[in-house]
Structure 1
Amino acid sequence: MQASITQAAFGHLPDGRAATLFTLTNPNGLVVKITNFGGIITEIHAPDRHGALADITLGFDSVAPYVKESPYFGALIGRYGNRLRDGRFTLDGQVVQLPANDGAHHLHGGELGYHRVLWRAIPFQEGDSVGLTLIYRSPDGEQGYPGTLDVTVVYELTAGNELVVTFDAVTDKATPVNLTQHAYFNLAGKGDILGHLLRIDADAYTPIDGTLIPTGELAPVAGTAFDFRTPHAIGERIGNDEEQLLHGSGYDHNFVLNKPARKAMTLAARVHEPVSGRVLELFTGEPGVQFYSGNFLDGSLTGKGQAYGYRSGFCLEPQHFPDSPNQSAFPDTILRPGEEYATVSRYKFSVEK
């Protein structure tokens, strides 16, 4: 089989602009579908241990539901992924106020974040790899953020069954930047994700308050339901009577990845679905990963022929830490003129016999 990339219409936005769906196929038959609206991964078809393909990501059949009601299914997230307390931070002595779209807080770049942008898309093929380059200029003041940010995101599907996601950005004013990818996975292709076996290479995590904002502490995972240093089923301890699980209604926390050096590309997480044998490995240079267990899915959203029920998908979002501009002990997320924001994450798909 030859690697290929094709494109097709995916519907229209409310203002009449057309969205396009790009289908990337590698020589092994692995398929990834991406739309230029929000840079959204709409489908990933991966084989099980018997070679049978199934769609292992949550999403919709056309652009309209993504505009209307999607909980960030498959989307690119920016300018700042995750939460900022009260939508506010101080930068170089000036208080910057962003719109609140998650109670009192600012979440995932705001109501009109990068998940709602129609990106300029350039498909490419290099040997057995196919990909899509997405480009967006985020203007000064967009969703309250200072500075014009030029963002490039490259999705590349390799012959090694890896989806490589590369983020690059430059700015003309100091601004916080924390870009990530928000795919929801279900390696079984249906049902809930509680039987998936998860390992996260993190000795610590960032606890949250009752509004899901980090307290500023780096807490050890040892002795808690957050210790995934060895594989555990996602559902094994999710119902434990631990304050942090109650705050998140399950897992909705940033894990502090073990790193031999800053920006080192390491295996952050591994997920194995025992029935199908499918395996997902996430490698990233980011210092953290947000693990979310689909706690707010309730069956009200339907896409691609199924209702997305409670905990029917999980997210592993490589990132800097939530609320970092307000947390001096967290890794710095301020990008300044003359600097380049550059980060790479790799999603490797395989099977365990």
Structure 2
Amino acid sequence: MNLTNHVYFNLDGDRTDVRQHKLQILADEYLPVDESGIPRQGLKSVANTSFDFRMPKVIASEFLADDDQRKVKGYDHAFLLQTQGDGKKPAARLWSQDGKLQMMVYTTAPALQFYSGNYLAGTPSRGPEPYADWQGLALESELLPDSRIILNGRSLTVSFALARSTPA
């Protein structure tokens, strides 16, 4: 089982392009996908690619810069985090275009899926007009898709904290 979330963020407000946000993802490797968004090969280094977010950069700066992005109209890829489930350090940071608003992502999951909102066009909104592509992005903490195949013998330890709640 690989539970995640799919919350969309736009730190500049409705109807703005999230590709103008600045993003940092503390990951040395990402998982390439095919045209269907399915991983078909192992992890690749982010070094010298458009997937290198180890230093903060504007998402648009290298948007659709290579085949791994063009296959899915942008970013929709899992990143194997440097933090490896250490929920005490941020796994990612996101800034609004003007830099006045910052969001930090903490997770105990080993990976983070970055989705740049490539297929949002036509999605109903609270207003009269539906959303357009790239008007929201998701940073989804998760296990790597197909982890046991993708890691090919590499060790991955995941721990979960369970909380028990009682009805009020």
TM-score for the superposition, normalised by structure 1: 0.42
Task: Indicate conservation of the 8 Å contact 1:324/1:331, yes or no.
Answer: no
Matches within 5 A, 1:67-146: none
Task: Name which of 176, 183, 195 aligns with 2:7.
Answer: 183
3-state DSSP of counterpart to 1:236: helix
Task: Indicate conservation of the 8 Å contact 2:42/2:150, yes or no.
Answer: no
Based on CA coordinates, which of the two structures has the bigger radius of gyration?
A: 1
Q: Report the Cα distance in structure 1 between the residues aligned to 2:157 and 2:126, rounded to whole angstroms.
A: 37
With a CA cutoff of 8 Å and minimum separation of 6, indicate the structure with the bigger relative contact order. Answer: 2
Q: Report the Cα distance in structure 1 between the residues aligned to 2:143 and 2:10, rounded to whole angstroms.
A: 24
Task: Indicate conservation of the 8 Å contact 1:320/1:331, yes or no.
Answer: no
Q: Report the Cα distance in structure 2 between the residues aligned to 1:264 and 1:225, rounded to whole angstroms.
A: 25
- Equivalent pairs: percent with the same residue? 37
Which residue of 2 is the match for residue 302 of structure 1? Answer: 124
Instruction: Decide whether aligned partners of structure 1 residues 331 and 321 sit closer, same or farther in structure 2, where only a CA change above 3 A counts.
Output: farther
The root-mean-square deviation of aligned C-alpha atoms, in Å, is 2.3
Task: Indicate conservation of the 8 Å contact 1:204/1:220, yes or no.
Answer: yes
Which residue of 1 is the match for residue 107 of structure 2? Answer: 284
Which residue of 2 is the match for residue 257 of structure 1? Answer: 81
* CA displacement at 1:250 relative to structure 2: 0.6
Aligned residue pair count: 158
* CA displacement at 1:277 relative to structure 2: 1.3
Task: Name which of 225, 236, 239 aligns with 2:50.
Answer: 225
Q: Report the Cα distance in structure 1 between the residues aligned to 2:93 and 2:150, rounded to whole angstroms.
A: 29
AA at the equivalent of 1:308? Y
Q: Report the Cα distance in structure 2 between the residues aligned to 1:199 and 1:180, rounded to whole angstroms.
A: 20
Matches within 5 A, 1:26-45: none
* 1:59-93 Cα deviation digits (max 9, x unpaired): xxxxxxxxxxxxxxxxxxxxxxxxxxxxxxxxxxx
3-state DSSP of counterpart to 1:199: strand
AA at the equivalent of 2:78? N
Task: Name which of 137, 143, 154 aligns with 1:320.
Answer: 143
* CA displacement at 1:249 relative to structure 2: 1.4
Task: Indicate conservation of the 8 Å contact 1:324/1:333, yes or no.
Answer: no
Task: Name which of 22, 31, 38 aligns with 1:206.
Answer: 31
TM-score for the superposition, normalised by structure 2: 0.84
* 1:140-177 Cα deviation digits (max 9, x unpaired): xxxxxxxxxxxxxxxxxxxxxxxxxxxxxxxxxxxxx2
AA at the equivalent of 2:39? P
* CA displacement at 1:326 relative to structure 2: 4.2
3-state DSSP of counterpart to 1:228: coil
Task: Indicate conservation of the 8 Å contact 1:288/1:321, yes or no.
Answer: yes
Which residue of 2 is the match for residue 49 of structure 1? Answer: none
Task: Name which of 191, 196, 203 aligns with 2:21.
Answer: 196
Structure having the larger proportion of residues in strand? 1
Task: Indicate conservation of the 8 Å contact 1:251/1:291, yes or no.
Answer: yes
Instruction: Please identify runs of 4+ aligned residues in structure 1 that moved more than 3 A.
Output: 325-328, 330-334, 340-343
Q: Which structure 2 residue ranges, 5 or more long, are not aligned?
A: 163-168
